Amino acid sequence: MSKILELYTFDPKAFCGDGTYSQEICDVVLCAALLYNDIKNTIVIINLLHASRPTGEMSYTREWGEYTGRDMHIFRHHVGILHELFQFMESNIETINTRLFQEIISQMSLKARDAWGSLVEASISIKPVGSFGNLLVRMRNQVSFHYDSRQIGIGFRKHFFKKNKVSEQAFVSKGISMEETRFYFADAAVQDYINLLLGNDNEAFQNEIKNFMNEISFSFYQLIDRFIIKRGFAYQIYRHN
């Protein structure tokens, strides 16, 4: 928590529509603030998890099993946020394309505008630029990581069977509490399901997604900040009595 800076306050009427700014614009920017917080939370959790990575080479241990299971869970959650983000952009594209909204975008830095443009392109374009753009659109259209029993079953059989013969052992830690127990075989099943969808180089892909989300969060920060300022609501340092 030490990196959180001091509190500022502003009039919440900044997010109430008037004769100039529609309530739709206010609500889109408000939702962008929530998305910013969700992206930040996920990135913080990723960094905390990676700081606890077991030492040495990956092996069949409970420490590595717990770590990789959590890592894959966070990745699935990250992709889920990205999937929701694409849907948010697509469903609000008319509001985003209005003159007043574009005036806010124009006041953002070049870096923030470029990131925003990449997000818009990935959300609505059928012909994205580059391999990463193609992956983003594929995720928009195909990958949401619901609890699809059929797909998880396919991942399970891919991991544990080769030519109808058992090729891997199935692992579990059995305890009397949730803290002591994990079904590693289920993590393995979803891992191979993801490999089928996205390819085997998940670590590099996760890094690309993380970098993309960092860029998007930066553009969201500027969008929210410029919106509040453009509406004429000044920030004030909060003084705790």
pLDDT at 212: 83
pLDDT at 83: 80
What is the Cα gyration radius of the chain?
22
Mean pLDDT of the chain: 86
Mind giving me the DSSP string for 165-199? EE-S----B--SSTTT-B-HHHHHHHHHHHHHHH-
- Helix, coil or strand: residue 124: helix
pLDDT band at 132 (very low <50, low <70, confident <90, very high): low
Residue 62 pLDDT greater than 60, yes or no = yes
Residue 137 pLDDT greater than 90, yes or no = no
pLDDT at 127: 57
Token code pair at residue 142: 């195909």
Least confident of 46-60, 68-82, 109-123, 196-210: 196-210
pLDDT at 10: 92
pLDDT at 142: 52
Beta bridge partners of 236: 9
Token code pair at residue 228: 């509040």
Q: For a pLDDT cut of 90, what percent of the chain falls above it?
A: 49
121 versus 225: the higher-pLDDT residue is 225
pLDDT at 20: 92
pLDDT tens digits, residue range 152-209?
898 899 999 988 889 899 999 999 999 999 999 999 998 888 888 776 666 777 777 7
In the chain, what are the domain boundaries? Answer: 21-143+211-237
